[in-house]
Amino acid sequence: MPKEKPEFSDAMRAKLSKKTPEKNPINGTKFTIAISSAKGGVGKSTFATNLALALKNVGCKVGLLDADIYGPSVPKMLGINEKPKSDGQKLEPLTKYDIQCMSIGFLADQQTPMIWRGPMVTSAIKTFTQKVNWKDLDFIIVDMPPGTGDTQLTFSQEIKMDGVIIVSTPQEVALLDVVRGIKMFDKLGVRILGLVDNMSFFVGDDGKKYKIFGEGGVKRTAEKFKKEFLGEIPINPDIGKYSDEGRPIVVTNPFHEISKIYLNFANKIKSTYL
């Protein structure tokens, strides 16, 4: 049988072939959980933000690191408009809704494009993991950028990552990238906690479920690659509305059906690690 074609570019395979240095935990934290999608526009940042808040609601000390250098969303979703303080050595994370936060969006104007090459992105990630004064956290939730590039490699090879949750919509176009993400994390030895089917359906005024992006694709992908299927999150206008207002749904209405889904995810993670 012909050999399977490599999943990585020549540059990436060169990085992978080098001896992997000892992974360093992020100071001030116990467990690092990444939220990835490999595909943009599937609600990954919304998931990361609400999961962090849900973990706080179930009694955990939580940080949220926005690692999407090119498209930071956390400042908008949390309604943060201030800049972090620094003593010249370390940055102080900003606190909102009792979670500690850091994002490139706190350091640059929201409308300023980050026209950076890979090494600059890697340097920023190392700053956020090594030079931020994270304080006594049970979990740090990392909102990963789309794709399978430098940020993912940096976290996988040089930083202690305890698990990753992969978020996707059920449509095939999104799942093509999800498969690449699964294979990447498997190759890099990162534990995949499971897959989440986001925007899985919409409930109309008539009470019927409408599968706008298809049906069952995420669950089938999880089964194919022997990963856990964590569940579905339906489309709900309140999710986007509250995020745009800087007050995520888990904070604004913890008894909302969507908030209960996030709290269920949070309890699963808490029971797994603590």
Cα gap 40→62, rounded to integer Å = 25
Cα gap 197→204, rounded to integer Å = 19
Residue 18 main-chain phi, psi, to 5 deg: -70, 155
Give the distance from CA 228 to its chain's centroid: 17
Stated pTM of the model:
0.87
Phi-psi region of 220 (alpha: psi -120 to 50; beta: other; left: phi over 0): alpha
Q: Which of 161, 157, 187 is nearest to 20 (CA)?
A: 157
Across the range 241-267, mean pLDDT stands at 97
Cα gap 192→170, rounded to integer Å = 18
Q: What is the pLDDT of residues 180-221, one digit of tens each?
A: 899 989 998 999 999 999 999 988 888 888 998 888 899 999
Cα gap 113→3, rounded to integer Å = 41
Q: Which of 36, 2, 17 is nearest to 227 (CA)?
A: 36
Cα gap 38→183, rounded to integer Å = 11
Across the range 114-119, mean pLDDT stands at 68
Q: Residue 3 — very low, low, confident or very high, per pLDDT cuts 50/70/90?
A: very low
- Count how many residues are written for the chain: 274
Across the range 172-181, mean pLDDT stands at 88
Note whether 65 and 102 are within 8 A (CB): yes
Q: What is the pLDDT of residues 53-99, one digit of tens each?
A: 999 999 999 999 999 888 899 999 999 999 999 998 999 999 999 99
Cα gap 217→52, rounded to integer Å = 26
Q: What's the confidence (pLDDT) of residue 13?
A: 53
Q: Domain 35-273: give its CATH architecture.
A: 3-Layer(aba) Sandwich (3.40)
pLDDT exceeds cutoff 50 at 2: no
